[in-house]
Amino acid sequence: MLKLITYLLQQGVATAKNICPDLAEGVIGLPMLTDAPCQSGCTACVEVCPTDAISVFNIDDANHVRLDLGACIGCGYCVDVCPTGTIKNNPTTRVAVRTREELILTTAGAAAEAANKELVTQGRTAAAKIPTADSLSKASWFGRSVAARVVSTGCSACDMELGAAGNPIFDMERFGVHIVASPRFADALIVTGPVSKGMQEALVSCYGAMSSPRVVIALGTCAISGGVHKGGYAEANGVDNILPVNVYIPGCPPHPWSIIHGILLAMGKEHLALAKKK
Amino acid sequence: MEHDQMKLERQQTPFHELHDILDHALSKSSDKRVGLLTSITGGEIATLLLSPKDGTAELMVTAVENNKYSSFSTHHAQFHWFERALFDFFGIVPEGHPRFKHLLLHDQYAQDFFPLRKIDLPTDFRNALPRRYEFLEVKGEGVYELPVGPIHAGVIEPGHFRFSCFGETIVNLEIRLGWVHRGVEKRLTEVPWQKAHFVAEAAASDTALANAFAHAIAIESILDLEITERAQYLRTIALEIERLAVHIIDVGGIGTDIGLLGISSAMGRLRGKALALADLISGSRFLRGFIFPGGVRPVSERKLSEIKAGVIALKKDLTPVIQMLSDNQMATERMKDIGKLSKSLAAEFGMVGIIGKACGIDCDTRRQFKQGKYPELAPEPSIEIGGDILARTAVRVGEIWSSLKTIETLVDNCPHGEEKVTVPEMLPANATGLGIVEATRGELIHLIFTDEDGKICRYAIKDPSFDNWTAISIAIRDNLIADFPLCNKSMALSYSGNDL
């Protein structure tokens, strides 16, 4: 035991001071759209996309791209094939948002908004049954600390990255985030995975066991849209088919920094995630 | 010696012959084992028989009459989950199965819903098995049941454990899985095959690379496609990086469950260093999208030398932490003779991977079947004989060292050249492809069938966890309930890979 204490003292503090820094060069993040005009007639990105997250449409004879980060698994293949640089790798780890709409990007701006909205509700299976979200009178309800219950319904990658977010390097506990073992004393419900049929009942009863006010965080592409599993017989179409979602964290799996960004967003403390200038 | 790519023919085998073949192949003197048992359309049984000694496999296809056959589980315990899954997905009834009930599809599904069945059910088919799940009830004064899950206390995948206990002692443990069944095998037949590797990766993401690897081998064996030597090296390096990352966190998890939090937090941090190696080779911490049929993503020489430097540094970092765990008397006492599995039961149930190796079974497929630069450059297997938690942890630690060494050797010898070759647009008709990879947890199998149009009509995955879940039920029997978490951690099985 003394040896262990000596070792730990020798290791010093491993915790990163820079919160939510950009990804290192060469690391694949989520894609982003740039101002570079899309090449007319080109559908290279659509063809390689494994989850149909990209569509190409035409406004006034100009080719435009729509990218749904909620369906994107971050494979980076579209970035590799884009001839014009319209789609680029986005090195930021601050990717969490509060609404599903914010995950849908287009190069067409306001002209595409209506179609974006339609995409959000498309394919929702049980809209009528979703409970209404708890109203949070203040964005910073959980500003000092948040107790989070994690329900895993997926392939374990998001769970492992959430575990990593608690390791000495990322150390999310310093922001007052605690992972708790029961929904009874949880403020936030973090859901990973697409919530297929087998887990729907368990997830709803877990949410029901939490006292108000409570927030729901959809962690990862599967939790947001079903990802590669969407539309199958197991109804693995994402959390917001079943529960009201307050924060979406895209990525497959999201980087531990992105997870921390999402939880900070749910706490109303996202300003902490602004990386210090180099 | 270069092993040729494995070619798999579908052999039509009548039932009485299949029974004899299995009896013979699974007898104690035989060196064969069963890879998986499933169906293609619902009208037949497909049995994959492996010969680890010469690195070959046979596929026997047996027509099923009247949608039922007499269960193999009564003679060969290994089949007990295969046959339950066979009914779940195809509706084929294994008559006489000793514990016949649903395995992965729960009450939410309609009574006669068999998602992978392609042919009509016989008109006189009566499905007598209720969707409602009944646990085995242990009777006797003082015996009580303890239900745990599907949602667990920690951050972990869902599963239900039903303990029957007498005092503090576990009399019986029944494991009910299927909570994260997402329909992966069906989805793999629905997407264009060029994109299927993304779905294969999502079968179990801590095994994403191994799944993509097995998928690529299977597709390439269908196409008779030879990939470049450089791609073979890079694939093998990536496979070992994945193994390293998972083993590090699993050994750290042992520290957590014993109460040595310093060790677990150090291992958690060092896993990050292994993931950084993954980032270097693939740009993804989980090695996603790196392997695809035809090759791998390009990797620069600079990155390869950074990987080598990273491996050397990681070896230095891991040494004192692992040393502290193995020197710790309290840790040893918590692990020794707990959660013990005998070699004979492990063999009978066809256990693979860490669990098999910890019982003295040399089941490392890296030394048996062609996968990347294996078996030529396969490391010495990490084998223990104790069969307990201590032995399983020792196997993991042994594999951490051998993976580190193997990565170094592979990087040193990795040739220059192209990373990918051109892949044909179409798969051949009525073909069968097989990919076997030693994933972190053990033998991972991808088996692909194409139809007369060259489309994938059946895609079967056998995760090593599917063989191994029963090991927990056996190993924990007559142990204290307080030892369950540690025993479970020492096996560290996959829920999503099992549930698919």
CATH number of domain containing B90? 3.30.460
Nearest-angstrom CA–CA distance, B400 and B418? 30
* B443 has a pLDDT exceeding 90: yes
Residues A240, A258 share a domain = yes
Nearest-angstrom CA–CA distance, A150 and A181? 8
Q: Is the peptide bond before A50 cis (omega within 30 degrees of 0)?
A: no
Residues A227, A197 share a domain = yes
Residues B169, B198 share a domain = no
Residues B210, B160 share a domain = no
Residues A136, A109 share a domain = no
Chain A segment 231-250 residues within 8 A of B by beta carbon are 232-234, 236
- Total domains in the fold of chain A: 2
CATH number of domain containing A209? 3.40.50.12280
Lowest mean pLDDT among A21-25, B6-10, B25-29, B297-301: B6-10
Nearest-angstrom CA–CA distance, B100 and B141? 27
CATH number of domain containing A41? 3.30.70.3270
pLDDT digits (tens, 9 = 90+) for A44-95: 999 999 998 998 888 888 888 889 999 999 999 999 999 999 999 999 999 9
Residues B208, B113 share a domain = no
Greater model confidence, A1 or B488: B488
| Percent residues over pLDDT 70 in chain B | 99
B182, B249, B250: best to mutate for the A interface, most A CBs within 10 A: B182
Residues A145, A108 share a domain = no
Residues A157, A39 share a domain = no
- Once rounded to an integer, what is the mean pLDDT over residues B54-65? 91
Exposed, middle or buried by CB within 10 Å (0-12, 13-18, 19+), for B367? middle
Cβ of B180 and A196 within 8 Å?
Answer: yes
What are the structure tokens assigned to A241, written together? 């088919």
Does residue A238 sit within a domain? Answer: yes
Which chain A residue lies closest to B272 (C-alpha atoms)? Answer: A164
- Total domains in the fold of chain B: 3
Which chain A residue lies closest to B150 (C-alpha atoms)? Answer: A202
- Once rounded to an integer, what is the mean pLDDT over residues B289-298? 93
* B312 has a pLDDT exceeding 60: yes
Residues B307, B227 share a domain = yes
pLDDT at A213: 87
Cβ of B283 and A75 within 8 Å?
Answer: no
Residues A160, A137 share a domain = yes
pLDDT at A121: 67
Residues A198, A113 share a domain = no
- Once rounded to an integer, what is the mean pLDDT over residues B26-41? 90
What average pLDDT is seen over chain B? 92
What average pLDDT is seen over chain A? 86
Alpha-carbon separation of residue B359 from B40, B341, B349, B387, B392 (angstroms) = 34, 7, 12, 4, 8
Residues B293, B160 share a domain = no
Nearest-angstrom CA–CA distance, A194 and A174? 29
Does residue A97 sit within a domain? Answer: no
Bridge-based pairing state of the strands B10-12 and B56-63: parallel
Chain A segment 140-199 residues within 8 A of B by beta carbon are 150-157, 159-164, 166-169, 179, 181-182, 193-194, 196-199
Determine the Cα angle at A236 with ends A230 and A242, to 5°.
115
pTM above 0.90, yes or no: yes
Residues A208, A84 share a domain = no
pLDDT digits (tens, 9 = 90+) for B181-200: 999 999 999 999 999 999 99
pLDDT digits (tens, 9 = 90+) for B133-181: 999 999 999 999 999 989 988 888 999 999 999 999 999 999 999 999 9
Does residue A184 sit within a domain? Answer: yes
Listed ranges A132-141, B147-156, B408-417; the one with the highest mean pLDDT:
B408-417
Element holding B58 (H helix, E strand)? strand B56-63
Q: Which residues pair with A153 in a beta bridge?
A: none
Residues B391, B302 share a domain = yes
CA B314 to chain centre: 26
Nearest-angstrom CA–CA distance, B16 and B221? 30
Residues A43, A82 share a domain = yes
Lowest mean pLDDT among A199-213, B5-19, B161-175, B330-344: B5-19
> How many other CB atoms are found less than 10 A from the CB of residue A102?
14
Whether A200 has its CB under 8 Å from any CB of chain B: the answer is yes
Greater model confidence, B463 or A138: B463
Q: Quick one: pLDDT band at residue B4, thresholds 50, 70, 90?
A: low
pLDDT at A138: 59
Cβ of B108 and A201 within 8 Å?
Answer: yes
3-state secondary structure of A10: helix
Residues B292, B196 share a domain = yes
Cβ of A155 and B279 within 8 Å?
Answer: no
Nearest-angstrom CA–CA distance, B479 and B474? 10
pLDDT digits (tens, 9 = 90+) for B384-398: 999 999 999 999 999
Examine the fold and report which residue of B102, B134, B166 is the final residue of a domain before the chain moves on.
B134
Q: Quick one: pLDDT band at residue B85, thresholds 50, 70, 90?
A: very high
Q: Quick one: pLDDT band at residue B456, thresholds 50, 70, 90?
A: very high
Looking at beta carbons, which residues of chain B come within 8 Å of A74? Answer: 284, 288
Greater model confidence, B483 or A60: B483
Residues B221, B105 share a domain = no
Does residue A5 sit within a domain? Answer: no
Residues B157, B194 share a domain = no
Q: Please tell me which of the candidates B190, B204, B321 has its beta carbon nearest to residue A156.
A: B204
Number of H helices, E strands in chain A: 8, 10
Nearest-angstrom CA–CA distance, B398 and B99? 37
Element holding B331 (H helix, E strand)? helix B329-335
Residues A182, A239 share a domain = yes
Residues B321, B460 share a domain = yes
Residues B476, B413 share a domain = yes
Cβ of B157 and A159 within 8 Å?
Answer: yes
In chain B, % helix, strand, coil (3-state, to 5) comes to 45, 15, 40
To which residue do tokens 């958690």 refer?
B268
Alpha-carbon separation of residue A48 from A7, A52, A55, A172, B199 (angstroms) = 48, 9, 11, 36, 14
What range does the domain containing A223 cover?
A: 127-273
Does residue A162 sit within a domain? Answer: yes
pLDDT digits (tens, 9 = 90+) for B358-376: 999 999 999 999 999 999 9
Looking at beta carbons, which residues of chain B come within 8 Å of A182? Answer: 153
Looking at beta carbons, which residues of chain A come within 8 Å of B204? Answer: 155-156
Q: Phi first, then psi: give them for residue B438, nearest 5 degrees.
A: -85, 90
Long-range contacts of B28-35 (CB under 8 A, 24+ apart): B33/B350, B34/B76, B34/B78, B34/B79, B34/B350, B35/B436, B35/B443, B35/B445, B35/B447, B35/B462
pLDDT at A1: 74
Which chain B residue lies closest to A163 (C-alpha atoms)? Answer: B155
Nearest to A253 by CA among B296, B155, B444: B155
What are the structure tokens assigned to B451, written together? 């139809």
Residues A131, A84 share a domain = no
Residues A264, A178 share a domain = yes
pLDDT digits (tens, 9 = 90+) for B200-222: 999 998 899 999 999 999 999 99
Determine the Cα angle at A111 with ends A107 and A114, to 5°.
110
Contact A127, A156 (CB under 8 A): no
Residues B351, B390 share a domain = yes
Does residue A13 sit within a domain? Answer: no
What range does the domain containing B428 cover?
A: 184-499
Looking at beta carbons, which residues of chain B come within 8 Å of A77? Answer: 289
Looking at beta carbons, which residues of chain A come within 8 Å of B182? Answer: 154, 194, 196, 229, 232, 234, 236
Alpha-carbon separation of residue A275 from A18, A97, A174, A266, B93 (angstroms) = 6, 17, 16, 18, 60
Q: What is the ipTM of this complex?
A: 0.89
Nearest to B389 by CA among B271, B485, B322: B485
Does residue A98 sit within a domain? Answer: no
* B41 has a pLDDT exceeding 60: yes
pLDDT digits (tens, 9 = 90+) for B272-292: 899 999 999 998 999 999 999
